[in-house]
């Protein structure tokens, strides 16, 4: 099922959400992670009318989005993600109270088992959830007290990269056909950039070493100042925008 750019109806009602976070084993890529992982899936970009959960998404990114890949091709999964997005958009305070409580529960589990648990809050969105969590719940999950939770994400928002530089939140910038200048600047500043390639991954891209980003989704332990190479999948194989590097 291909992703459609048609927006859903303007309906601000949503159903109660039992769990905002999903276990990483439900996703083919996060299932490869060495650590137990929890991920938040929502409806990307402007799938819900009046909401844009990926404000920096390019046209090529939207057309190549993996939103409908894997379990995302099922209508009940898409409806669940749309429902979570409405919860976020129209009842934000309660959304972050629930998300904070779920993270606290996961943190308690990590403490009891004396393990690290990975958290990816933007599985199919690009929102500064940690900032909003602190704003609405009063909890700073980057405080050392919560260091059993390892937060990581991809983003196309350069402001997220600068805000969380030198923190324990590991963010990889995603290159698109419209932000290569920002991507190169982030690499020059020592950050990491994800690039989608059409063929086999090159050894270097613009002089920076390329690592295989498909071996695991867990970007937390990547070396610094590298390109995270991803092979084109799904609709990205047909990209003509320049989002995918040939």
Q: Residues 117, 106: contact at Cβ < 8 Å? A: yes
Q: Residues 217, 32: contact at Cβ < 8 Å? A: yes
Q: Residues 3, 65: contact at Cβ < 8 Å? A: yes
Q: 178-195, pLDDT tens digit by residue?
A: 999 999 999 999 999 999
1 belongs to a structural domain: no
243 belongs to a structural domain: no
Q: Residues 41, 84: contact at Cβ < 8 Å? A: yes
Q: What is the pLDDT of residue 2?
A: 34
Q: What is the pLDDT of residue 221?
A: 96
Q: 214-242, pLDDT tens digit by residue?
A: 999 999 999 999 999 999 888 888 888 99
Q: What is the pTM of this model?
A: 0.89
Q: What is the pLDDT of residue 67?
A: 52
244 belongs to a structural domain: no
Q: What is the pLDDT of residue 3?
A: 36
Q: How many domains does the chain have?
A: 1
12 belongs to a structural domain: no
Q: Residues 49, 62: contact at Cβ < 8 Å? A: no
State the residue range of the domain holding 31. 21-238
11 belongs to a structural domain: no
Q: What is the pLDDT of residue 9?
A: 45
Q: What is the pLDDT of residue 197?
A: 96
Give me the residues of the chain with pLDDT under 50, please: 1-10, 68, 72
> What b/e sequence results for 52-66 when a residue is b if at least 16 CB atoms lie within 10 Å of its CB, and e otherwise?
bbbebbbebbbbbbb
10 belongs to a structural domain: no
99 belongs to a structural domain: yes
2 belongs to a structural domain: no
């Amino acid at each position: 099922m291909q992703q459609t750019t048609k927006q859903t109806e303007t309906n601000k009602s949503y159903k109660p959400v039992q769990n905002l976070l999903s276990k990483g084993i439900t996703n083919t890529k996060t299932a490869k992670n060495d650590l137990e992982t929890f991920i938040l899936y929502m409806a990307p970009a402007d799938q819900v009318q009046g909401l844009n959960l990926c404000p920096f998404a390019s046209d090529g990114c939207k057309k190549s989005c993996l939103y409908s890949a894997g379990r995302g091709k099922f209508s009940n999964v898409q409806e669940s993600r749309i429902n979570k997005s409405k919860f976020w958009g129209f009842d934000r305070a309660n959304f972050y109270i629930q998300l904070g409580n779920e993270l606290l529960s996961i943190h308690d589990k990590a403490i009891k088992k004396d393990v690290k648990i990975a958290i990816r809050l933007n599985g199919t969105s690009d929102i500064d959830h940690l900032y909003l969590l602190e704003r609405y719940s009063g909890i700073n999950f980057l405080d050392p007290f919560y260091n059993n939770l390892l937060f990581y994400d991809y983003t196309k928002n350069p402001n997220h990269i600068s805000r969380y530089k030198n923190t324990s939140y590991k963010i990889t910038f995603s290159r698109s056909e419209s932000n290569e200048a920002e991507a190169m600047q982030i690499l020059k500043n020592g950050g990491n950039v994800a690039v989608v390639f059409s063929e086999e991954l090159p050894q270097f891209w613009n002089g920076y070493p390329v690592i295989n980003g498909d071996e695991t989704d867990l970007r937390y332990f990547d070396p610094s100042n590298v390109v995270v190479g991803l092979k084109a999948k799904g609709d990205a194989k047909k990209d003509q925008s320049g989002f995918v590097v040939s």
